[in-house]
Amino acid sequence: MKIAIRIFMLLMLTSGLSSCEMIKGWTEVEIDTTLEAELDILTDDTELKSTEDFGFNESEILQVINPDLEDYADLIEAIEVESVTIEIEEVDQSGVKLLTGTEFIISNTLGSSYTWTLLNEWDLDNNFSMPLPSDSYDDLNDILEAYDTSDVNVSAIGTCNKGSVHILLNYGLEIKVTSSPL
C-alpha cells in the first residue's frame, strides 16, 4: 500500500511540474476526413454578347462539420488541408470544355477566399478530376478554421463552349483535424 501511495504522489508531483502543453499533447486526437460539396451547374442557354461562350455562376455551402467531426465540433484546435480535388461527376453532353479564365473559389463570409483560375481549356469527361495546387493550403486552413463564425462556400464562375449543359462538379478536401478536450 505504501508503494501505491508513493507512486500516486510521484505522479501528482510529476504532473504538477509538467507543463500543460505536454499533458495536452497526450490527449490530442487527429481525425482524417474528407469534406465534399457538389455544384450542380447549368450553363446559360444564350451566348454572351461579346463572345460565342456560355456563362455560369454557381455556389454551394461546404459543411465543415461532417459526421466524422460531429463529436469534436466544439473541441477543434486546427484544420490542415492535405489535398483538394475538383471532380467532374457528370456532364450531359459530349465535347464540353470549360474555357480559360474559369474560376474555382473557396471562401468564407468573413471575406477570406482563394481562387484557382484555369489557364487552359478543360475538356470535361465524367469522373475526370483535377488536383489543385498545394500553395493554397495555408490560406484554405485559415478559411476552414473560421467555420464556427462563418459559412464556407465553394464556387465555380466562368464560361463554357456549349449552352444548356448540365455539369455536376464535386469539390473534395482531404483534411486533418486536431482536437483536444483540454
Low-confidence stretches of the chain (pLDDT beneath 50):
21, 23-24
Q: How far apart are CA 136 and CA 115, in angstroms?
A: 9
Residue 41 CB partners (closer than 8 Å, separation 6+): 56, 58, 156, 165, 166, 167, 168, 169
Question: Where do we find the cell 466562368?
Answer: 158
Query: What is the C-alpha to C-alpha distance for residues 63 and 65, in angstroms, rounded to an integer?
Result: 6
In DSSP terms, 156 is beta-bridged to 58, 104
Q: What's the pLDDT score for residue 182?
A: 60
Residue-wise pLDDT tens digits, 91-133: 999 999 999 999 999 999 999 999 999 999 999 987 788 898 8
pLDDT value, residue 10? 61
What domains are there in the chain, each with its CATH number? Answer: 27-179 (2.60.120)
Rounded Cα distance between 56 and 158, Å, is 6
